Amino acid sequence: MTHMTPRQARRAAPPRGTLVLLLAVLAVLAGCASAPERAANANAGGAGSAGTAAADAARTRAGSAADTPLRQANADADAIAAAAASRAGEPGAGEPPAAPLPRVRLDPQQDAQRVDLWQRVRAGMRIPDLDDELVRKWEAWYAGRPDYVQRMTERGGRYLFHIVEEVERRGMPTELALLPFVESAFNPRAVSSARASGMWQFMPGTGRDFELTQNIFRDERSDVLASTRAALDYLQQLYARFADWQLALAAYNWGPGNVQRAIARNQRAGLATDLSSLARLPQETREYVPKLQAVKNIVRTPGAFGLALPQLRNHPYFLSVAIERDIDIDVAARLAGLSVDEFKQLNPQHRKPVILAAGTPQLLLPYDSANRFLRELAVAPEPLATWTAWTAPRTVKVAEAAHLVGTNEHQLREVNQIPPRMLVKTGSVLLVPRSSRHDDDVPAHIADNATIALAPEAPPQRRVAFKAGRKGDSVAAVARRYRVPAARVAEWNGVGIGARFAPGGLVVVMVPARMAAQAAVRTAARSHTMQVQTKAAHHAGAKASGARLAAKTPARKTASGRRAAHTPARERMAQR
């Protein structure tokens, strides 16, 4: 029979410190205090009441401190260590007393971060703090509106875990995850008066710069995943340019070119170029970073401002679920067990009542709804979509388009947001009800690039003809008078765009029917004026001619011996 020395036995045994650490971590993860106790009893090897009593004594000393998984784990570690120490000194243990086991403690900060998303955000804050009157202003503003803060933070809780994950993955300061509180109060459907959209408030041009699709079917500035990716790309780009997060944030709000010019002005003046030293900033930009600082301070210590943040667990709120066929929004919501409004809170980028799989191949669903959606989708009857896309083969009226696709004009106008008295131009894409003639899913090139172009319907027109004036009229002058393009006037009359009409020449224009009467009145008035002017000119000419004739005729004596006045010939004849 082989005998082992005490040293060999200790080497063969598993490390006790490792065992204690493993058991403590299991206790935290499982929230079960009995596992370490069972392990301690098993390690005792039936040693009797001494080890059990030591463990009980250690657990008793822990007292009420074991009211959280972390404290419970630490208390259980004490108990295991005490039990092991008592077993080591028992008779017949076969080895001398072992050295005391190391105390294994878990970091309370790490445990809080594991279960609390707010603590995770606090732990990663790295942007230097501001402390000025503008920060105090916004702290007071938020503190005076606890209901608003509650709504904003509850709404943000849907998206914050995903943003924090992305921020940490890129090695960025975690307070950047709070920026949507400032931009949109975490509303992904927010639209500003300047047409910025989404919870990160992208302008249309900036969105296109960062590959956010904007067409008739979807606007990815409101897409939770796409807009977050674009916003963090933009912020990283700005930080690489300015090497200062406060300047990068100001540039996110005001534009990098404006911030760069403000820095250049300070450099020429020999002034500092940090954010607080820059002059001539718009008020919104001047308050932008202080506003974020106020949100940061409230998240860090909400109680100091009389506020309470809702509890946010450190796990995903939503999951991404793949789709392979087009699906109506109301159908997707029903399969997931959600209202349409709840569904749109996570999928707000869709502008039409259908989701095109070729453009958006996944849905975001709450954690608990994703499995239900997949189960219901597997047995749902097809088609899942009642809408598809149709491309106009030529410029058509809406009524004609409705006839071509087999629907009514009102429905077609409503779903495609076409105003009255507008034409649908060639190549425009309309959303139309599915039918036997139009029953396909929308292909990728349409889902990604669809546009609609409209033109005003031309009102009924009437031909108006008139004669050019005595000095003639230019094509441009006629065009201005009737408010039509000069090229059309030239076309109607078969002349060049720079031509002039001969005096008295016939001029033709086409005008809307409602303007034809006005044009006729103007033409008649102009003709009457010309007639009056012609008669007046003729009369004036006749008088001048008579005066010249009288000047050449000698005066004659009348019966009274006086010379007759120079009178026109007709008047002298009347006197005879």
Mind telling me the catalytic residues?
A: 183
> Structure tokens of 22?
């493993």
3-state secondary structure of 106: coil
The two most distant CA atoms of the chain are separated, in Å, by 185
> Structure tokens of 122?
């606090």
> d(Cα 567, Cα 555) in Å, to the nearest integer?
10
> Alpha-carbon torsion 249, 293, 155, 28, what sign?
positive
| Residue 268 amino acid letter | R
> Structure tokens of 121?
């955000």
Q: What is the number of other CB atoms lying within 10 angstroms of the CB of residue 48?
A: 12
Instruction: Give how far Cα 179 sits from Cα of 87, 183, 196, 440, Å.
Output: 57, 6, 15, 41
> d(Cα 360, Cα 335) in Å, to the nearest integer?
18
Helix residue ranges per DSSP H, 144-254 = 146-156, 160-169, 179-184, 204-209, 224-242, 245-254
CA 214 to chain centre: 10
Cis peptide bond prior to 383, omega within 30° of 0: yes
Residue 324 burial class via C-beta count within 10 angstroms: exposed 0-12, middle 13-18, buried 19 and up: exposed
Instruction: Give how far Cα 273 sits from Cα of 53, 247, 266, 286, 356, Å.
Output: 69, 9, 6, 14, 48
> d(Cα 372, Cα 383) in Å, to the nearest integer?
19
> d(Cα 359, Cα 325) in Å, to the nearest integer?
11
Please state the φ and ψ torsions of residue 492, each to the nearest 5 degrees: -65, -30
> d(Cα 117, Cα 271) in Å, to the nearest integer?
41
> d(Cα 363, Cα 98) in Å, to the nearest integer?
59
3-state secondary structure of 70: helix
Helix (H) or strand (E) holding 79: helix 69-88
Please state the φ and ψ torsions of residue 319, each to the nearest 5 degrees: -125, 155
> d(Cα 483, Cα 497) in Å, to the nearest integer?
15
Nearest 5°: CA angle at 512, between 508 and 513?
100
> d(Cα 345, Cα 363) in Å, to the nearest integer?
11
- In terms of residues, how long is the chain? 576
- Would you say 505 and 468 are in contact if contact means Cβ atoms under 8 Å apart? yes
- Would you say 503 and 470 are in contact if contact means Cβ atoms under 8 Å apart? yes
Instruction: Give how far Cα 539 sits from Cα of 5, 292, 532, 535, 542, Å.
Output: 148, 86, 11, 6, 5
